[in-house]
Amino acid sequence: MEIQFIAGFAPIVPDPARAQAFYRDTLNLPLVTNADNPDYVAMDDFGGAKHFGVWPLADAAESCFGVREWPSDVPVPQATIEFEVESIEAVDAGARELESNGYPLIHGQRTEPWGQVLARLLGPEGLLIGLSYAPWFHERV
């Protein structure tokens, strides 16, 4: 078997309306309602994933909170997804927009040791969401 690319990713959400408000209305993802199931929204041909990893929880905790143990008062995420934006400034602007819409951040914009600029929050279903600017994805050849 040879995997070609990530064919799909979908958070499994207990509250479809709340999740749609976040992903479609707040993040402005071009999600379309399924004619057979109005609770299911999706998009195709969105560009694909540039990275897939298996991230240890201790590493995620260190990246988010600066310690190797996930805080007991914060729900443990089952996955992470990072949405790439066009610039470092867009990470900060997006983070401020999320906060102004009532989505508290785990942390605001900061640069990881490997050079990626991120702001993170927990989505409505507990998915770890990152607004990202990874310079290597924007380099011209």
32-61 pLDDT tens trace: 888 888 888 888 778 777 887 888 899 899
Domains and CATH numbers, the chain: 15-48 (no CATH), 53-137 (3.10.180.10)
The 80-84 sheet, strands edge to edge: 80-84, 128-133, 117-122, 105-111
Residue 4's pLDDT band (boundaries 50, 70, 90)?
A: low
DSSP 49-70: -S------HHHHHHHHHSSSS-
Residue 19 carries which DSSP code? Answer: H
Per-residue pLDDT of 73-117, as tens digits, reads 999 998 999 999 999 999 999 999 999 999 999 999 999 988 999
Mapping DSSP onto H, E and C, the string for 89-126 reads: HHHHHHHHHHHHCCCCEEEEEEECCCCCEEEEEECCCC
